[in-house]
Amino acid sequence: RNMEDTNKFLTKLKGCYFANTQLNLEFLENLDDFEIRDDDVFIITYPKSGTVWFQQILCLIYFEEHRKGIGNLETVERIPFLEYFSREVDFAERPSPRLFTTHIPYYLVPRGLKNKKAKVIYIYRNPKDVMCSYFHFSKKLTASATDNFVEFMNLFLEGEVAGSLWFDHIKGWYEHKNLFNIHFLMYEEMKKDLRGSVLKICKFLGKELSEEDVDAVVRQATFENMKNDPRANYDNKLKAYFGIQKKGHFLRKGTIGDWKNHMTAEQNEKFDMIFQTKMKDIPLKFIWDM
């Protein structure tokens, strides 16, 4: 077992940290052989980049009953996490098209994903907001992290969090994009033009929705609606996994530029310098404020 570093909250496998909750290490270690179907769809994100949001969008696009508010199957049941749900869900038994969510780095994916048929959607968000969102999330939910922002920033910049280093995650996926049938979508773009983003995604997925259906998707994927939608807000799962005493929510603020309320000018400068060095060869666009 190639496991270098573990603590109560994180496990490092093949160079990447995973949250211990629900983790199935054995499954992860054999992930390379996991059978991929041509019509599988994967949502890939670094934590806190809009995962839960995009799960809701994909559910609304794929499942008419979800769009119509029939039944109360949660998004996470429809689009389970690859690395965290393999004990609860028999992936091989799921009807096609199977939808998955995962935070794994590009080098850990099942090799079948490189057939370029199965589709991958990579959601990314400006890393200052990711860091702030992560700070609040881990502070509330995993006693592992600190409630000191400076300390958390250090952890984040060292990659000592689930998902490991943000820079490595996005660069890995971007630099190997030619191996995959992959579409990059920005959190901030969804925020600024949700309808346009939904249409782009439908095109990538080969899904044709009527005007009304697109309206229904957009309406139910807004922050306010999701926050109040038990199918989408994860509160039940958080209670089940972390206990009711914890007060965290996946839907916290949902804005662009909240880092300005957290970072000092000096911290910002330090972050910018690291960003410029690490990202200099990556032409992805970023939006840092509204």
Interacting residues with ligand A3P (CB under 6 A): 45, 47-53, 129, 133, 136, 191, 221-223, 226, 250-254, 258
Which CB atom, from 140 or from 177, has the smaller least distance to ligand A3P? 140
- 3-class SS letters over the chain: CCCCCECCCEEEECCEEEECCCCCHHHHHCHHHCCCCCCCEEEEECCCCCHHHHHHHHHHHHCHHHHCCCCCCCHHHHCCECCCCCCCCCHHHCCCCCEEEECCCHHHCCHHHHHCCCEEEEEECCHHHHHHHHHHHHHHHCCCCCCCHHHHHHHHHHCCCCCCCHHHHHHHHHHCHHHCEEEEEEHHHHHHCHHHHHHHHHHHHCCCCCHHHHHHHHHHCCHHHHHCCCCCCCHHHHHHHHCCCCCCCCCCCCCCCHHHHCCCHHHHHHHHHHHHHHCCCCCCCCCCCC
Which CB atom, from 134 or from 180, has the smaller least distance to ligand A3P? 134
Q: How far is the CB of 75 from ligand A3P (least distance, A)?
A: 10
Q: How far is the CB of 128 from ligand A3P (least distance, A)?
A: 10
What are the catalytic residues? 103
Which CB atom, from 36 or from 44, has the smaller least distance to ligand A3P? 44
Which CB atom, from 21 or from 96, has the smaller least distance to ligand A3P? 21
Q: How far is the CB of 222 from ligand A3P (least distance, A)?
A: 6
Q: How far is the CB of 100 from ligand A3P (least distance, A)?
A: 15
Which CB atom, from 63 or from 137, has the smaller least distance to ligand A3P? 137
Q: How far is the CB of 172 from ligand A3P (least distance, A)?
A: 17
- Given a contact cutoff of 8 angstroms between Cβ atoms, the answer to whether 84 and 38 are in contact is no
